[in-house]
Structure 1
Amino acid sequence: MASTLKAVRVLEESQVSPPSDTSSRVSLALNFFDFIFMCEPPVRCVFFYPFPHPTANFIVSVLPALKSSLSATLRDFHPLAGRTRPSPESSAHKLEIRYEDGDSVPFTVVENDDTEFEHVSSGHDLRRSKLQTLISYLPSHQYDDMPLLAVQVTVFPNKGFAVGVGISHVACDWRSFLHFVRSWACSCRAGASVEPRPSFDRSMISFPESMSDPAVIKRFLETGPRAPPAQDVDDVDVVLATLHFSKVDIERLKQRVWTKAGDWSSFTVTCAHAWVSLVKARGYDSHDKQVVLNFTADCRARLIPPTAPEYFGNCVKPCFADALFHGKRYTELTAEDGVFIACDRIRKAIKQLEAGVHEGWERLAMLATAEKPMSVIGSPKFLSYDVDFGWGKPVKVEYLTVRTGSISLTDHPEEEGGIQLGIALIESEMVKFRSVFSTALEL
């Protein structure tokens, strides 16, 4: 049974601003990659840390450092303290990220009297609706005067605390999200950031010609092909589970598909195994829709010329792997070599990037017609478990952006080369998924 969190008590609601010597104003026009993620929910993540002391101790010894270091970090990341606003010299459908003197970040501190810190920070299934209490609300599908960043700190008396960070997806992708959080953690831990300073130079990223017409932009915003599908269930019915691939598990999966052809990355075999397990667990009943896996590819090094690795913003392109139904209930992925077929489809989706980062954006519409598409967010390469604010590494990292039937990937909390996988499903499907997932790993 999935655990729930009881009501929380608000201790503080404040605003954190960049230092007074920060630039008084900056405007960043939305680029092609920002635009295609406007319909996505905010990038949200919660980091859990043990702290076996009373709340009063936390307020005195931890909270001031978290707030002052956040302010210091916003000196370099000051656009995050701004908002999305209409560009003053353009049509109503052209937006920009604009920071103005006086803008700030909402910072909320709450106390949770549940005292179940060990449970919510473990690998037990947790209801998604209740986990939302660990992070401040950020609106999605709101483009005019939208805040970009919100922080919530939840104290579990005598147990630990959780740092919940939410950033609008129009402002950045997951790589940039972790760049900001690691910089904040370094500033809090060491007094100065050891991360590279972010680059906001957007001169290397342009719109494709096919999206230069304002009517195309208007139609995209109105139809929102990447908006949450209408058939998605209420949060109250959805649980989040945490599963782990050890390095041995990953190597075993690689060996199985190596016998077929080629060499496969840990990302490919992990996604393929999860995709096949989900299809088998759900027992799709259709014959006229595709089964789609959606993931993103970093384009920083794929641009011509490439942009800086520390570029801050969205610079990822959606990729789509798809499989067909055979007959009514069976897909290519349920065959004996389903994992190999899934690997092959993922490889082909990645290969399509060779046509150019601006090509194929129209395929976003696939998500509207696919049979319960599965998306992948995050990456083990982002090293989420290295986010140390000065009180040790997190005991658990939870991505809350995961939609029903989709997965998140992070590094393994205890084993280098392993992968942590998070998935959101309704409870009945989760039972089937766990069974299929674990059985396949044991073969």
Structure 2
Amino acid sequence: MQQEHMELPKKPWLEILEQCKIGPSPSPPTPFSLPLTYFDLSFFLSPPTQRILFYSLPPHELLHFYSILQTLKHSLSHALSHFLPLAGNLVWPPQSPEPFICYNPGDSLSLTIAKTHADFHHLSSNHARKAKESHFLVPDLPTSDTIAPVMSLQITLFPKCGFSIGIITNHVVSDAKTSTMFLKSWASICSTLNNTNNKNPPTLPSELTPCFDRTPATDPNGLHTLYVKSFAIFVPNPKLLGLTPKEVISDDVVYATFELTRIDIEKLRRRVVATSSSTPRRLSTFMLAFSLVSTCIVKAQRTEPESKIGLIFLVDWRARMDVLGWLNYFGNGVNGYGLFVEARELEGENGMAMISNKISDALAEIEKNMKENKGVEMLDEISERWKKAMPIDKFVLVAGSPRLGVYDIDFGWGRSKKVELASISPNGVFSMAESRNGDGGVELGISLPSEAVDKFCSLFSETMKGYVD
């Protein structure tokens, strides 16, 4: 990461060129609805997810931006026909005992077309900058107590540089796996239309075709028992959605991107093995990056040694539970697993090894329970551990995963220059994605108050320099 002198940014200039509604094509003649499941409930407490994809284009191609827009709109409409809930709403009608996801014929997704003269390269680079500087590239997602749109999009032209696509998604309806699958589907259709004269809707490959079957997930003798048990905890007000709004970020919060190459990961792996009291069962790239960033965040924020820390990562249950229709399940297929430690345990050279061991043990426990067909019991146990661990002084949570493949989202004009998760909170949330250059490394998005970012940068750099070959 490069550090730059940061002045208070001027309010970005944004010209709204068009605000339109995009519906699925072809549009189905009948309504389509999905019940909520246990995995959706906890995200009533989460703000909407915001992501920005930056695409660099040469000036001569941007002269035809109107044509590019038409292809993006046309392909979006076709993509929505495969992902109907994204054009619909989360609703709670007065006559219904619980909320559900609903698409009605004529429903559509809000799309904003805009233009800005903001610095494209500044916003899409890795150096530290004010976190709020890029947020104008993401649209709003208005909600009420009875209805909430699922998704909104904004396409913003940077003349002579490229364009961005800003996505805001209701987390109760979709996790990162589902929203990424949708973006890849949209990009696949767009790329096909962009490179052929065929205007008929292309078919989606099987790996991008969503599964909407929730029959097993709503089995009254299975996962649904946890839904009933937990509903009032996450949705305490009857008949009111009460969704968490988009977080407002203060001016002193700084966003920066850090990279770990495959060589860096190998250095971390050797160091963890060398400082561990026992050899972890597995040491994935995700584990090592999570362990490094967690320790740096806690130290950078000068957390009191006796403070209780909750280190949170999301477990994807799609490949672990048949009730989620395998890998293409549409919706939320993840829930948070918490490791609870005191801040003092993260000090010293074995802090990373301790976290890696705990993650390794947690995953081994999950796999053991799944082999014994005790998935529901395992999820219930995880929930009970959360309750016993409260109150927590500080959380550190990772959003995203290198396995999502966000840099594979190619609309036909090449891979994105940068993908930013704009909704990460300065209260200990960071993002993780695969490295854009495809070297097997990872990108880490950090959002912290300015003084904490300076300390984080120093700790991150010193840690990696200390791991010699």
TM-score, reference length from structure 1? 0.90
Query: 231, 235, 251: which is aligned to 1:217?
Result: 231
| Alignment gaps of 5+ in structure 2 | 194-201
State the partner residue of 1:253.
268
Secondary structure in 2 matching 1:374: strand
State the partner residue of 2:40.
34
Query: 279, 303, 312: which is aligned to 2:321?
Result: 303
Secondary structure in 2 matching 1:236: coil
State the partner residue of 1:328.
none
Does 2:328 align with 1:316?
Answer: no
User: Once the 2 structures are TM-superposed, how far is the Cα of residue 416 of structure 1 from its aligned partner?
Assistant: 2.6
State the partner residue of 1:290.
308
* Structure that is richer in helix per residue: 2
**Structure 1 432/337 Cα, relative in aligned 2: closer, same or farther at 3 Å?**
same
Matched-pair contact (CA < 8 Å) for 1:2–1:124: no
- Report the AA paired with residue 64 of structure 1: Q
Query: 104, 123, 146: which is aligned to 2:148?
Result: 146
State the partner residue of 1:205.
217
C-alpha separation in 2, matches of 1:113 and 1:125:
20
Secondary structure in 2 matching 1:158: coil
State the partner residue of 2:179.
177
- Report the AA paired with residue 187 of structure 1: I
Does 2:445 align with 1:430?
Answer: no
CA RMSD of aligned residues (A): 2.6
Query: 427, 437, 441: which is aligned to 1:418?
Result: 441
C-alpha separation in 2, matches of 1:284 and 1:76:
47
C-alpha separation in 2, matches of 1:126 and 1:310:
36
Matched-pair contact (CA < 8 Å) for 1:320–1:349: no
Secondary structure in 2 matching 1:235: coil
C-alpha separation in 2, matches of 1:75 and 1:272:
40
**Structure 1 45/264 Cα, relative in aligned 2: closer, same or farther at 3 Å?**
same
Matched-pair contact (CA < 8 Å) for 1:292–1:373: yes
C-alpha separation in 2, matches of 1:280 and 1:233:
25
Does 2:348 align with 1:335?
Answer: yes
Does 2:376 align with 1:377?
Answer: no
TM-score, reference length from structure 2? 0.85
C-alpha separation in 2, matches of 1:297 and 1:52:
40
After superposition, residues 25-424 of structure 1 pair within 5 angstroms as: 25-53=31-59, 57-86=63-92, 90-91=96-97, 94-114=98-118, 116-139=119-142, 144-191=146-193, 192=202, 193-194=204-205, 195-206=207-218, 207-212=223-228, 217-222=231-236, 234-259=249-274, 260=276, 261-262=279-280, 263-285=282-304, 287=306, 289-304=307-322, 307-325=325-343, 331-353=344-366, 354=369, 356-357=375-376, 358-359=379-380, 360-364=382-386, 369-404=391-426, 405-424=428-447
C-alpha separation in 1, matches of 2:349 and 2:64:
54
Q: Deviations over 1:83-120 (max 9, x none)?
A: 011267632xx100000011100000111122x11111
Q: Quick check: 174-183 or 49-58, which moved more?
A: 49-58
- Report the AA paired with residue 234 of structure 2: F
Matched-pair contact (CA < 8 Å) for 1:43–1:177: no
Q: Quick check: 409-418 or 177-186, which moved more?
A: 409-418
State the partner residue of 2:24.
18
Matched-pair contact (CA < 8 Å) for 2:87–2:151: yes
C-alpha separation in 1, matches of 2:434 and 2:90:
32
C-alpha separation in 1, matches of 2:390 and 2:106:
40
User: Once the 2 structures are TM-superposed, how far is the Cα of residue 367 of structure 1 from its aligned partner?
Assistant: 8.8
| Alignment gaps of 5+ in structure 1 | 326-330
Secondary structure in 2 matching 1:205: helix
- Report the AA paired with residue 424 of structure 2: V
C-alpha separation in 1, matches of 2:92 and 2:244:
24
